[in-house]
Structure 1
Amino acid sequence: MNHTIHTPLTYHIDTLPLTDAKAMLASFDTLTPSDYKDGSYRLRRYSVFEYDRQAHKLVKQTNTALSKMTA
């Protein structure tokens, strides 16, 4: 199954290159909302997807992860 996020930049979840995924990895845990400078950070931080470190791909977030976005 291949999910697509429709934004100015389109990512195909199952085919995101590993180099792109690794570049995004640090921002998941370290950047705060005041640190972002572009829409791609918002996509990474606030979308319904998260980076699965073991599988090396973006996956849909769990309900627990989604609840953090509204806290």
Structure 2
Amino acid sequence: MKRLAKSYDSVLAGVCGGISDYINPGLDPLIVRLAWFIISLFNPLMVLIYFILALVMPSPEIAGTKQ
């Protein structure tokens, strides 16, 4: 069973990388980062959601995901 967790491929906190791994392991995290950035331009609440996810999402070691 897949679990949502931060990614080893991280720029800030690994949230977008973790989301891209959860959606599709072959999906490039850059696409999710760009989409998150564009949405954040129109909805500043997404920045707050990002920081909440950075605090709540487990690290890859705790979630048991592989590199």
TM-score, length-normalised on structure 2?
Answer: 0.25
* Higher RCO (CA 8 Å, separation ≥ 6 residues): 2
TM-score, length-normalised on structure 1?
Answer: 0.25
Q: Which has more strand, going by share of residues?
A: 1
